[in-house]
């Protein structure tokens, strides 16, 4: 049976981005994944080539395809241009950031981790409403930031988390907040969760619990197996998903999906790592797992399963791993081994 071609935008990204994207494309080609790629630029590459970290051509491409695979984009700290990742999420209203964490390599400190962070993606403190107040001769004497959570935004991400948990057979959704102190900004999130849980009848389908974010961070270190799905606001979700990635071997193992009503962008959670760019040291596993999520999204679950199985076998049967996982394989060597696994499956 012929599989219909699927238009998709490809953004190689900055730093190690082109290397891990090339590795991922090689494996997707071996899988015969039917993506028709439209390659575009963003981040530092966009600034260098088009004078814009998020060029119009890139935005137009995603509007057309409604689907993208993205390498990491460089964002300057403390100045320079605003994060292209945040701008993409806002532009396409990618309100749900899905970050699964699954143990792939046994024998580490934490075994059998299998949980998901569902992060609200376009509200909270990441809206970027910031300014400085000058005092005396110091133009940056006071820095101020305003976070905004709306009832609609809270409801949308909470409903997504509950529906995701039910659809995937998860048992519990934990609502992470700081409503004891941030009574308005995260109080509205907790209040909406309680109301929605009853209103939608989720209480008969999945368990709900509540936890303050600092206690959640501690308990994730002490006993992560008590959690299943964590749903939280933007900043808390960003921090906790990195913590959770540490339980499974680091950000090199952490994929992410940005989901909206009209578009979806898939990426590795980690950054552009410019210090190792061009050295073939980067671990492409996170982006490969993001590609598997992308295959699931377009209903090619058989190919997603084959990809995940090939990753597992390459890591644990062939014992071919990149340096961050204690191995000696280059990015390209790891990809070559994966391609062999896919073709011989």
Whether 1 has a pLDDT exceeding 80, the answer reads no
Q: Is 126 a catalytic residue?
A: yes
Tell me the per-residue pLDDT of 129-176, one tens digit each, with 9 for 90 and over.
888 999 999 999 999 988 999 999 999 999 999 999 999 999 999 999
Domain limits, CATH 3.40.718.10, in the chain: 1-102+252-345, 123-247
Tell me the per-residue pLDDT of 6-29, one tens digit each, with 9 for 90 and over.
999 999 999 999 999 999 999 999
Please report the pLDDT score of residue 204 as a whole number.
86
Q: How confident is the model at residue 77 (pLDDT cuts 50, 70, 90)?
A: low
Whether 289 has a pLDDT exceeding 60, the answer reads yes
Tell me the per-residue pLDDT of 96-106, one tens digit each, with 9 for 90 and over.
999 999 999 98
Which of 60, 214, 262, 302 is catalytic? The answer is 214
Quick one: what percent of the chain has pLDDT higher than 90? 82
Taking residues 184-196, what's their average pLDDT? 96
Q: How confident is the model at residue 76 (pLDDT cuts 50, 70, 90)?
A: low
Which of 38, 70, 95, 178 is catalytic? The answer is 178
Q: Is 238 a catalytic residue?
A: yes
Q: How confident is the model at residue 79 (pLDDT cuts 50, 70, 90)?
A: low
- H or E segment at 246? helix 234-247
Please report the pLDDT score of residue 344 as a whole number.
84
Domain range 1-102+252-345, CATH class? alpha beta
Q: Provide the mean pLDDT of the chain.
A: 93
Q: How confident is the model at residue 320 (pLDDT cuts 50, 70, 90)?
A: very high
- Give ∠ CA 257-259-260 in degrees, rounded to 5: 165
Q: How confident is the model at residue 231 (pLDDT cuts 50, 70, 90)?
A: very high
Q: Is 302 a catalytic residue?
A: no
Whether 203 has a pLDDT exceeding 60, the answer reads yes
Please report the pLDDT score of residue 107 as a whole number.
80
Q: How confident is the model at residue 3 (pLDDT cuts 50, 70, 90)?
A: confident
CATH classification for the domain delimited by 123-247, as one of 3.90.650.10, 3.40.718.10, 3.20.20.70, 3.90.45.10 = 3.40.718.10
Whether 78 has a pLDDT exceeding 60, the answer reads no
Which of 14, 38, 228, 238 is catalytic? The answer is 238
What span, in angstroms and rounded, lies between the C-alpha atoms of 165 and 171?
7
With helix as H, strand as E and coil as C, how does 176-223 read? EECCCCCCCCCHHHHHHHHHHHHHCCHHHCCEEEEEEHHHHHHHHHHC
Higher-scoring residue by pLDDT: 251, 116: 116
Range name among 124-138, 218-232, 265-279 with the lowest pLDDT average: 124-138
Q: How confident is the model at residue 191 (pLDDT cuts 50, 70, 90)?
A: very high
Whether 93 has a pLDDT exceeding 90, the answer reads yes
Please report the pLDDT score of residue 80 as a whole number.
59
308 three-state secondary structure: helix
Taking residues 113-132, what's their average pLDDT? 90
Q: How confident is the model at residue 81 (pLDDT cuts 50, 70, 90)?
A: low
Taking residues 276-300, what's their average pLDDT? 96
Whether 40 has a pLDDT exceeding 90, the answer reads yes
CA distances from 197 to 47, 155, 162, 177, 193 (A): 45, 10, 8, 16, 6
Could you tell me the strand order of the sheet in which 264-268 lies? 35-39, 6-11, 67-70, 264-268, 255-259, 96-102, 114-120, 229-232, 172-177, 207-212
Q: Is 110 a catalytic residue?
A: no
Whether 50 has a pLDDT exceeding 80, the answer reads yes
Which of 38, 70, 126, 228 is catalytic? The answer is 126
């Amino acid at each position: 049976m012929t599989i219909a071609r699927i238009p998709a935008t490809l953004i190689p990204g900055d730093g190690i981005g082109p290397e891990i994207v090339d590795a991922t494309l090689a494996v997707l080609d071996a899988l015969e994944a039917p993506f028709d790629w439209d390659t575009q630029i963003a981040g530092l590459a966009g600034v260098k080539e088009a004078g814009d970290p998020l060029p119009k051509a890139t935005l137009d491409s995603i509007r057309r395809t409604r689907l993208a695979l993205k390498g990491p984009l460089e964002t300057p700290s403390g100045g320079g241009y605003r994060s292209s990742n945040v701008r993409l999420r806002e532009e396409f209203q990618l309100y749900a950031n899905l970050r699964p964490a699954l143990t792939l390599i046994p024998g580490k400190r934490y075994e059998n981790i299998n949980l998901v962070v569902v992060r609200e993606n376009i509200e909270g403190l990441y809206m970027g409403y910031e300014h400085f107040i000058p005092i005396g001769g110091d133009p940056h004497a006071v820095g101020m930031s305003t976070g905004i959570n709306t009832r609609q935004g809270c409801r949308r991400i909470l409903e997504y988390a509950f529906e995701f948990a039910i659809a995937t057979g998860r048992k519990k959704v934990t609502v992470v907040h700081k409503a004891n102190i941030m009574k308005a900004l995260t109080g509205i999130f907790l209040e909406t969760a309680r109301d929605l849980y009853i209103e939608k009848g989720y209480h008969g389908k999945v368990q709900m619990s509540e936890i303050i974010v600092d206690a959640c961070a501690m308990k994730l270190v002490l006993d992560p197996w008590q959690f299943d799905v964590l749903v939280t606001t933007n900043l808390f979700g960003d921090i906790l998903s990195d913590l959770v990635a540490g339980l499974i071997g680091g950000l090199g193992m952490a994929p992410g999906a940005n989901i909206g009503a009209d578009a979806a962008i898939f990426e590795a959670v980690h950054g552009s790592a410019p210090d190792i760019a061009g050295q073939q040291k980067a671990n492409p596993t996170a982006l490969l797992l993001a590609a598997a999520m992308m295959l699931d999204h377009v209903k090619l679950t058989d190919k997603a399963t084959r990809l995940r199985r090939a990753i597992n076998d390459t890591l644990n049967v062939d014992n071919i791993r990149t340096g961050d996982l204690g191995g000696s394989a280059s990015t390209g060597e790891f990809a070559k081994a994966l391609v062999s696994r896919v073709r011989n499956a």
